[in-house]
A and B are shown apart, each in its own frame.
Chain A
Amino acid sequence: QVQLQESGPGLVKPSQTLSLTCTVSGGSISSGSYYWSWIRQPAGKGLEWIGHIYTSGSTKYNPSLKSRATISVDTSKNQFSLNLSSVTAADTAVYYCASSSWLRGRFDPWGQGTLVTVSS
């Protein structure tokens, strides 16, 4: 059964780039047809989809992030990553990685989430 685990710095300075990695275990990131997503949740608030990368490498992003997000995949490490540039305090959140088996499918599984705080 596929499992996901986020990793990365828990503290990022304003205006810098937030970088997170999601490690996939129990299956190959390049096999099958999966969408690998990043989703975030500010404390006490709801869920916000950031974007996804498809097995083929194509990407799609939430327009609200105004092109600050970049998602990439490293098949050799069975990982996919998120870079979010020009961060502000509003980007402070728990960041989750998740997968879905088709374009309009459910998110399952999810990683446990990792808290990223933007502060100087």
Chain B
Amino acid sequence: NFMLTQPHSVSESPGKTVTISCTGSSGSIASNYVQWYQQRPGSAPTTVIYEDNQRPSGVPDRFSGSIDSSSNSASLTISGLKTEDEADYYCQSYDSSTYVVFGGGTKLTVL
């Protein structure tokens, strides 16, 4: 079964840049688009990146997404960190049968 693996947690200081990885277990992660969701406590997830590197309107350009085929991974990069960016982040994609797959989530701490 296709799985997406994320680090359990990352932390960084305000104003710095952090990158969260999402590694595919098999096949090519580039075969299907990757989305990234932000989830604050008690709230539903919201999209910060879709289709690998697209930002929905209203999401600041401090958020960016990329794909690295050599490591079969996707990355979410947040620059100029703000305390309000502290949240859980989930990557999501599809397997070869178009079943939805979520990564396990990464807790971002901004301290």
From the candidates A62, A96, A107, name the one contacting B99 in the complex (CB within 8 A): A62
Q: Across the interface, do B98 and A103 meet the contact criterion of CB distance under 8 Å?
A: yes
Give the interface size bracket for B toward A: 20 to 34
B98 contact set on A, CB distance < 8 A = 60, 103-104
B102 contact set on A, CB distance < 8 A = 46-49
Closest Cβ–Cβ distance, residue B92 to chain A (whole Å)? 7
**Interface 0/1 of B4-36, CB less than 8 Å to A:** 000000000000000000000000000011010
Q: Across the interface, do B92 and A63 meet the contact criterion of CB distance under 8 Å?
A: no
B103 contact set on A, CB distance < 8 A = 46
Q: Across the interface, do B44 and A106 meet the contact criterion of CB distance under 8 Å?
A: no
A-B contact count (CB 8 A): 55
A46 contact set on B, CB distance < 8 A = 90, 102-105
Does residue B47 face the partner (Cβ distance < 8 Å to A)? yes
Q: Across the interface, do A47 and B44 meet the contact criterion of CB distance under 8 Å?
A: no
Q: Across the interface, do A106 and B35 meet the contact criterion of CB distance under 8 Å?
A: yes
In the complex, which residues 43-67 of chain B have their Cβ closer than 8 Å to any Cβ of chain A?
43-47, 50-51, 56
Dominant secondary structure at the A interface: loop
B33 contact set on A, CB distance < 8 A = 104-106
Does residue B100 face the partner (Cβ distance < 8 Å to A)? yes
B32 contact set on A, CB distance < 8 A = 104
Stretch at the interface among A9-17, A18-26, A80-88, A109-117: A109-117
Closest Cβ–Cβ distance, residue A14 to chain B (whole Å)? 26
Interfacial residues, chain B to chain A (CB-CB below 8 A): 32-33, 35, 37, 43-47, 50-51, 56, 90, 92, 94, 98-105
Interfacial residues, chain A to chain B (CB-CB below 8 A): 37, 46-49, 52, 60, 62-63, 96, 103-108, 110-113
